Amino acid sequence: MVSKNCLSDRADSRGCATEVLVELFLLDKGDFANSIDGTWLEALFMDGVMDGVAVGVVSAASRLPSHKHAIAELFQVEGVDLTEEIISRLGVDEVPLCNGESGSDLAVAAAREALERAGIAGSEVNVVVDYTILPQEYMVPVWNMSGKVQHEVGAESAFTIGFSGGGSSNFLVALNFAAAMLAADEKMKNALLVAADVTIPGNRVLNPSAPVSVLGDGASAVVLQRGATAHCVLDTELCSDGSNHDVYCIPGGCLANPEDPSLYRLVLDKARYDAAPKTETLLRLAQRVLDRASLGLEDIKRVVYTNVSAEDQAAFQQTFGLGPERMCTSNLAGHGHLQGTDLVLNYLSTLEDSSLLPGDPVLICSHGMGFMAGVSLIEV
Amino acid sequence: MNATIGILDAAYYLPPKRKLLADIFRDEKPQDDPLAANVDFKRDIGIEAVHVAEEPASSVALQACRRVVEQAQIDPRDIDVIVDFTSIPEDYIAPTWCAAGLVQKELGATRAFATAINTGGCASYQQTLKSVCSLMSTNDRFNLALLFAGDKVPEFNHNYYPVTVVCDGGGAVLLKKNHPRRVILSVEVATLGKLYDVWRVPGFPHRDPDHPEDHSWMHVVGDIPRFNSEVIPANLFMFRKVMRGALQRVGKKAADVQYYIYPTFSSWDQRAFCRAFMIPLEKVYTDGLGRHGHLQETDMVLDYVDAMNEGHIRDGDLVMLTTNGAGFSWGAALIQH
């Protein structure tokens, strides 16, 4: 029998020395089959322990690049005419832009801030959930920045998970699954949700022929906790329209079109986007959520929505019959559209409203560019 | 609430075209360095040929989805959630896009919402099982879920030296609440985030604009020294962690497991797994290795289906599905037949 140190040395020097590593493994911890504790442990996963367990947002944070560009300059750089009509329709003055920062660095900073605000150490995080929607430093899904975030915040005991598609609604997808995991698994206490969206260079004006939005760069993070006593996630409704699966996508730079650099940009099929019943679908989902909570739309104190454009926000307010005082629109002008981070920014701004009282219901809504509609109900 | 969730059905699709390993090695020229004194990557891997898709990755996935829907004889309009767990690049760029919406459209699954889980590498199936079972367990509205993946590697990237040679194909699984057979008892997942940059695909921004014909930016790149010095030594310990976790959650012991589904990476990897955990080779499904090599996350579906069809798994058996994946994550799921 060789010693453990000897085996370690051999493994280091010979790389993929499978046999040596098996020896090392067996020496170090003994026999797997005999090491399992045979006592009956509660079957936590499937026994309905989730009934009555509250999951709430205990903190949130955003991290935006300090560098900002006026949209007049961005339109000029991208060769798009900027008219008064477009300025009015978009409602965006300037957007934050990365100037050397990487998306994952912003995400790590946002995650650290959210954890600090929650008073939680990285080691207490059970799952890191990525809701980024734009391309990351390397190609997703082979690579995902959630691993880097896990490492950088010291969440050694966590596993990572990330979601794709659905524009800003990807945040609500992540929220829904993370809340379900925390509710279903007694061993899990804290989830760290995180995203960083960095726009493809030269691709900030969405749909240049008839601009729909202006995209900025930014990151955000949210800490969800099992057993929270405030800001509880009560319910979520999600609905996707498969016929619009590619209404908002990057058609090049992947298997379908690997050759053409001009296709490596975020495009919106405006005809399908315009035709999609975006706010009407959201109203339908909101009514379902409210019915289950025995609430009416009039009971909702505030609504959190995305910053696609002033025109889009106005359409939403009209469909929902909301006065401007019930929805945060103040982040649009200075940030533009930051994908799922819009919802975190606007949620944080909504919480600053002193007229909001503990227990007040808040809706978070996103149409996911006509593909994925989502509504979450939170009791602050 | 009864949260018994079972595998209603599972299916896979392998494209008809096959490519012999010798032809892959001829075209891709993997390194010749021996992995260890007694292991030669080309000679010992145990794979004879792989399948090669000529259709898009989403079509491969869709074929598997259609098969599972047909086998289970369900109405796609009854599906509540569709989750794509593909772990390699798809038709369009992720995370902006995923194939789940396309599958929703093509199947006519109008009631569902469609999303994708884009982490875990080959362990994305276990991550997806954990997520979807949680959703179904905590919510009366989710009773039927379709999970799928479709893999098509770029041309000349079938060789993942020093790990495996990969195959194209798709897998699909239907989960049903209150289904008393093939019940998912527990799922355990773990990630070692410090290994986040060991295995990656560079992506389009990293291409060489002077050589547009060079698609190596779509090929996997492994930091082999770190893979050898950090991933391999941790591997068995992480396998033990997730398998032990899955067993402990339901008060089971390793001795209770009748059968294992383990990735078809290579013959030496399968042997090492069996030896480390003292599992007889006949309790692990290894037959698929020679026929098709490794199908990323779809190994967990393909090998499970074949093991059932070939009579390796019987009623009453406790089955462990375990794998590792780039990122790096490890996953284990216990299925009670």
Residues in chain A: 380
CB contact under 8 Å between A11 and B232, yes or no, is: yes
Contact A134, A339 (CB under 8 A): yes
| Average of per-residue pLDDT across B115-134 | 97
A176 chain-B contacts, CB cut-off 8 A: 135
Where does the pLDDT of residue A37 fall: very low under 50, low under 70, confident under 90, or very high at 90 and above?
Answer: very low
User: What is the nearest CA distance from B23 to chain A, expressed in angstroms?
Assistant: 22
On whether both B89 and B214 belong to a single domain, the answer is no
Residues 6+ apart with CB under 8 A from B17: B51, B52, B53, B54
Instruction: Note the maximum CA span of chain B.
Output: 60
- B174 & B272 share domain: no
My answer on whether B172 and B309 are in the same domain is: no
Distance CA B304, CA B64 (A): 14
**A77-83, long-range: CB within 8 Å, 24+ apart, which pairs?**
A77/A202, A78/A202, A78/A203, A78/A204, A78/A205, A78/A208, A79/A208, A80/A205, A80/A208, A80/A211
**What domain range is B22 assigned to?**
5-180
Tell me the shortest Cα–Cα distance from A353 to chain B, in angstroms: 32
d(CA B94, CA A139) in angstroms, rounded, equals: 7
pLDDT band of residue A19 (cuts 50, 70, 90) is low
Separation in Å, CA of B254 to nearest CA in chain A: 5
* CA-based radius of gyration for chain A: 23
Q: Are A217 and A351 in contact (CB under 8 A)?
A: no
Same domain, B96 and B176: yes
Domain with residue B18: its CATH number is 3.40.47.10
Q: B148, B180, B212: which is the final residue of a domain?
A: B180
Instruction: Give the number of domains in chain B.
Output: 2
Whole-angstrom Cα distance, residue B293 to residue B270? Answer: 12
Tell me whether B185 touches chain A (CB under 8 Å): yes
Token pair 């900073």 is at which residue? A109
Tell me how far apart the alpha carbons of residues B75 and B107 are, in angstroms, rounded to a whole number: 9
Question: Given a cut of 60, is residue B74 above it in pLDDT?
Answer: yes
Asked if B212 and B323 sit in the same domain, the reply is yes
DSSP state of A83: -
Contacts of B70 (CB under 8 A, 6+ apart): none
Strands B5-13 and B18-20: unpaired
A165·B116 Cβ contact <8 A? yes
Both tokens of B247, joined, read 């067993």
pTM for this entry: 0.94
Q: Are residues B176 and B191 in the same domain?
A: no
Q: Are residues B103 and B14 in the same domain?
A: yes
Asked if B131 and B206 sit in the same domain, the reply is: no
Of B156, B180, B204, the position where a domain reaches its end is B180
Q: A44-58, A149-163, A170-184: which range is least confident on average?
A: A44-58
Q: Do B204 and A15 touch (CB under 8 A)?
A: no
Q: Which tens digits make up the pLDDT trace of B247-273?
A: 999 999 999 999 999 999 999 999 999
Kindly provide the ipTM of the predicted complex, given to two decimals: 0.97
CA B100/CA B106 separation, integer angstroms:
10
Q: Are residues B240 and B269 in the same domain?
A: yes
Work out the number of other CB atoms within 10 angstroms of the CB of residue A243.
16
Are B146 and B41 in the same domain? yes
Residue type, A306: T
Interface test with B, best of A7, A14, A140, A173 (most B CBs within 10 A): A140
- CA dist B151 and B14 (Å) reads 10
CA A42 to CA A175: how far, in whole Å?
A: 27
DSSP state of B81: E
Pairing mode of beta strands A127-130, A159-164: parallel
pLDDT computed for residue A42 by the predictor: 29
Q: What is the Cα–Cα distance from A211 to A346, expressed in whole angstroms?
A: 23
> What sign does the CA torsion over B55, A247, B216, B220 have?
negative
Identity of the residue numbered B246: A
- The percent of residues in chain A predicted with pLDDT above 90, rounded, is 84
- Determine which of B58, B62, B135, B196 to mutate to test the interface with A (most A C-beta atoms within 10 Å): B196
A130 and B95 within 8 Å at the Cβ level: the answer is yes
**What value does the mean pLDDT take over residues A79-105?**
97
B165 and B245 both lie in a single domain: no
Cβ atoms of residues B268 and B140 within 8 Å: no
Give the containing element (helix H, strand E) for A90: helix A84-90
Residue B81 has pLDDT above 90, yes or no: yes
DSSP-assigned beta bridge partners for residue A61? A221
B34, pLDDT greater than 80: no
Q: Could you tell me which chain B residue has the CA closest to the CA of A146?
A: B193
CB contact under 8 A, B97 and A250: yes
pLDDT, greater one: A9 or A272: A272
Q: How confident is the model at residue A358 (pLDDT cuts 50, 70, 90)?
A: very high
Size of interface A-B (CB pairs under 8 A): 362
Is A254's pLDDT higher than 80? yes
Provide the chain B residues 222-251 that lie in CB contact (below 8 A) with chain A. 224-225, 227-229, 232-233, 235-237, 240, 243-244, 247-251
Q: List the beta bridge partners of residue A159.
A: A127
B184 touches chain A (CB under 8 A): yes
Of A37, A163, A252, Cβ closest to residue B118: A163
What domains sit in chain A, N to C, each tagged with a CATH number? 4-35 (no CATH), 55-230 (3.40.47.10), 234-379 (3.40.47.10)
Residue-by-residue DSSP string for A105-171: HHHHHHHHHHHHHHT--GGG--EEEE---S--SS-BTT--THHHHHHHTT-TT-EEEEEE-SGGGHH
For residue A257, is it left (φ>0), alpha (ψ between -120 and 50) or beta? beta
Asked which of A176-185, A199-208, B38-47, B87-96 is least confident by mean pLDDT, the reply is B38-47
Tell me if B87 sits within 8 A of B296, measured CB to CB.
yes
Residue at a domain's end among B180, B208, B232 = B180
Same domain, B248 and B132: no
SS3 A359: coil
CA-closest candidate to residue B176, choices B147, B149, B156, B211? B147
